[in-house]
Amino acid sequence: MLNALNWLWTRNCLLCQARAPAGKDLCLACDQSLPRAQEACPRCGAPGAAVGTDAVCGECQRHPPAYDATRAVFRYAAPVDRLIQHLKYHGRLELSRVLGGYLAQHLLALDDPLPDVLLPVPLHVSRLRHRGYNQSLEIARCVGRELRIPLDRQGARRIRATAPQMELPRDQRRKNMRGAFEVDGSFSGQRVAIVDDVMTSGHTVNALAECLRNNGAQEVRVWVVARA
C-alpha cells in the first residue's frame, strides 16, 4: 500500500524528466549537481572567504552592512538561475515551493537561531501589478511554513520603483536603492530575517535592513535562495 502511494506521489524531475524519488521535485543526479554555495563571508555571503575561517570579507570590514549575517543555499549559476527566472518572469509559481524548500532545509541544517519574523523583500506596487505576485513573498511563505516562523507581509513597502539591480553597473547599484523602502510600525527588539530570491550586490537588502534598524530591529539576517 505504502509503495503504491509513493508511486502516486512521485513526479518527474523538474530538470531532466527522469523519475524523482517520492516527494522530491528533482532526481538524485540533478539534486547533486546543483551549485551549492561554498565558503563565503558570513556577513554578506560573498563567495571566496578562506576555507574554515569565520572572518568577514574586506568589503564588510571597510563598510559593515546594516544586516548581521547572510545565508544562501546556492550560487546564482545554472540551473538554479534558470529556475529563479522561471519563477520570476514566467509565472512558474510552484517553483517557490521547490526553492523555498531548499532554503528551509539549508537553514535547518545550519542550526542557526531562528528569527522572530520573516520579511520578504517587497516589490513596488507597479511591478507587483505587472507580475501579479511577489516571488520573495512566495518563497518566504514556504520557509515560514516549514520552520514555523510568522511572516510579516505589511511591515515594509517599496516606495520607489527602482531599476532591476542586475541591469545596472556596479557603481550605480547603491544609489539606485537609496530611499527605496519604508517600514511601517515598530520592529523594536525583534530579530528579523529578510527573505529574497537572489542577492547580487547586497544593496537591496542593505537598504531594507537600514530601515529595520532605524525602526528598532535588534538583529537582521538575510536569507536568500542564491547569491550572485
Range in contact with Zn ion (rule: CB under 5 A) among 7-15, 135-143, 151-159, 172-180: 7-15
* Stretch in the footprint of Zn ion (CB under 5 A) among 6-14, 106-114, 152-160, 181-189: 6-14
- Pick the piece of the chain touching Zn ion (CB under 5 A) from 39-47, 119-127, 141-149, 219-227: 39-47
**How many Å apart are CA 205 and CA 45, to the nearest integer?**
12
Query: Which of 25, 37, 40, 44 is in the footprint of Zn ion by CB under 5 A?
Result: 44
Q: Does 43 bind Zn ion (CB under 5 A)?
A: yes
By CB under 5 A, which span of 53-61, 74-82, 116-124, 170-178 interacts with Zn ion? Answer: 53-61
Closer of 25 and 197 to Zn ion (Cβ): 25
Strand partners, 182: 157
User: What distance in Å separates the CA atoms of residue 52 and residue 60, rounded to the nearest whole number?
Assistant: 18
Task: Give whichever of 20 and 180 is closer to Zn ion, judged by the CB atom.
Answer: 20
> What does the alpha-carbon distance between residue 189 and residue 82 come to, in Å, rounded to a whole number?
38
Q: How far apart are CA 91 and CA 223, in angstroms?
A: 22
Classify residue 100 as exposed, middle or buried by CB count within 10 Å of its CB (0-12, 13-18, 19+): buried
Q: Give the residue with the Cβ less far from Zn ion, 13 or 73.
A: 13
- Residue 166 interacting with Zn ion (CB under 5 A): no
Stretch that binds Zn ion, among 35-43, 74-82, 128-136, 174-182 (CB under 5 A): 35-43
Q: Name the amino acid, one letter, at 111.
A: D
x/- binding map, residues 58-97, to Zn ion, per CB under 5 A?
A: --x-------------------------------------
Q: To 5 degrees, how large is the angle CA 110–CA 99–CA 115?
A: 45
Describe the chain by its helix, strand, coil percentages, rounded to 5.
40, 20, 45
How many residues make contact with Zn ion (CB under 5 A)? Answer: 12
Question: In sequence order, which residues have a C-beta less than 8 Å from that of residue 103 and are 6 or more positions away?
Answer: 73, 139, 142, 143, 195, 223, 224, 225
Q: Which is nearer to Zn ion, 121 or 222 (CB)?
A: 222
Question: CA-CA distance, 225 to 192, in Å (whole number)?
Answer: 17
Q: Which of 25, 27, 67, 134 forms a contact with Zn ion (CB under 5 A)?
A: 27
Enumerate binding residues for Zn ion (CB under 5 A).
Answer: 13, 15-16, 18, 27, 30, 41, 43-44, 46, 57, 60
